[in-house]
Chains A and B, each alone.
Chain A
Amino acid sequence: MTERNMDTHWTPDSLRRQFPILQREVNGQPLCYLDNAATTFSPQCVLEAMAGFENSCRSNVQRGVHQLGAEATEAYETARASSAAYLNAGSPEEIVFTPGATFAVNLAAHCLGQALDAGDEIVVTVAEHHSNFVPWQQLCDQRGLQLKLIPVAANGSLDLGQLDQLVTERCRVVAVSHVSNVTGSITDLQAITQVAHHHDALVFVDGAQAAPHGPVDVQALGVDFYALSGHKCYGPTGIGVLWGRKQLWDELPPFLTGGGMVERVTAQGTRYLPGNRRFEAGTPPIAQAVGLGAALEWLTVLPWPDIRAYEDRLMRLMLEGLLSVDGLTLIGEASTEQRVPIFSFDINGCHSHDICQVLDDYGVALRGGHHCAQPLMDALGLVSTTRASLGMFNSEQEVRTLVDGLHRAMEILR
């Protein structure tokens, strides 16, 4: 791991000071950013890592023999090693950099789909983000596969009671999110993996909302693929990671083809590189990978027991405050257990966009809409919800600002 300007002595205030953007105001109010599940901010060390790459060794990776090329390659591969360490992968060779988590799902769906036959089954949940729903739905349409859905309970929580019936011997892939981007609930991956692997099905996990909340152990989870998104993990946009077991990378056909992923090209045909290198065609997003590597290194060394205790305090405060709002229905469980600080809610008689618009007056950034989870919204009988999602830099005062703002919004909108 490279040495960076990292402040690892942690207090909520010291953490906030690492994010330059938190100094700005919105509508004359201090910024109260509660849209971290969409995109969160980067700490200074990440910004410096990317600037450092751009200012000192920007060049292409892998093939250059000049000094800058060697330094760029080292920085890129260091980022791969940092990603592997954050996920506790077996080795950096199990890491594929992608332009984002959505790309990672598409890569997996496309490549796994090549070996599937009509009648094979894919299982996803009703609660998936469109990014982990549409690629599998399209794959099923294109190849005559059957898409089966794990349902949700009336409050939007996953209902795994029918798992044994849904995952059959024809199931080839179970694709689930580690954490719901709507309810914030942590999925019982152990239960899913156990049933899926019993039928020799692979388990693909969309970790976009879980990875920002602490290091992940893909080996302990026992899953087969795990995707994360850079810009939700305090890194830059335009970068993501797809982890897969090495054996799977060796067996899968490529997704995109071109330079950087070939061993030899002749007029007659092409021999691809083995393993993960086969899946990084073209010039990769190098500066973004360097930034993501810095973000994951930064996350890795944070004192997670302390941060989780702090997040737990914020979640209790949030639940207490939200449930004090007249007519508010929380989507998912009203509990701090088995969740991350993502809270979606419906307020009777008020549309989420109107709520978000009023809250913006108070400097509060929320997200309203279907959160790219329309099958879940349909199951809930809703068009949209309002979502507040916390990052580790959010404060108790910001939670109070949100709750006060919601009470005021009700006075204005009703």
Chain B
Amino acid sequence: MGRGTTVAFHSYKGGTGKTTLISNLAALYAASGSRVCLLDFDLYAPSLMSYFKKIPTAYVNDLLNGEVDISRILVDVSAELELKGKLLLGFSSNKKEDVNAIEIKHELKWQLTAMRRFLSAKNQLFEQYGIEHLFLDTSPGIRYWSINALAAADNLFLVMKDSDMDIEGTMRMINDIYDSLVKFGSKFFVVLNKVPGASPIIENRFGADDTASIADFEKQIKSRVVGSIPCFCDVQFSKHEFLWAVKQPEHPFSKKLIEVAEAIRNL
């Protein structure tokens, strides 16, 4: 079996909708018959566990600490979600002590040892589990474990909002870290999320002038935009949005996500 691809979703700030997008995309891939694994690498502020409402027996943290094997952390949700393919999930711990432990473990030796464990687990996922697409949900900003996850990925997706604050910070992040990653052969792309325009307010053309065209935006950020997902209030303010892309495929948000999934697949 050939080696699968690894994609990481990252952002400059929190609240860009990264976890929602990556979960939906992973589910879409699995729904279309692919073997997918989604790992929560937002070790500093985990959210995948509450998104999927699961309590695993072991966490990504345990894997990095060398306490468990990859098989112990994986949770298979394919059957309950009635997916054609496979969707395996790996959660990171939201316990205060585990988050604190990650926060303070900055020494290079541990970082590299943990990274080796993760890479070995990644190979296992491809070889033993036949995973075709490995999705990594990373922490926003520049932190050790977001860098580690990004470095392990073939394609990086920067999820951002079309706001000056986000653009400015993302540009800085590109200069600081992405350029180094690109030097080593990684490719990075942008996914614009929560773009103004889907709500009725656009009928009054309010804010329309502030929305830069994709071409201008790509020039500014020096990267390709693989998707532009409008801000849908029902998604944004839903009490618990859960895999709309597979549960409500007719929703415009889901349709947009299907387009993005296709664009990513064709990269």
Q: Does A pair with B?
A: no
Q: Which residues of A contact B (CB under 8 A)?
A: none
Q: Which residues of B contact A (CB under 8 A)?
A: none
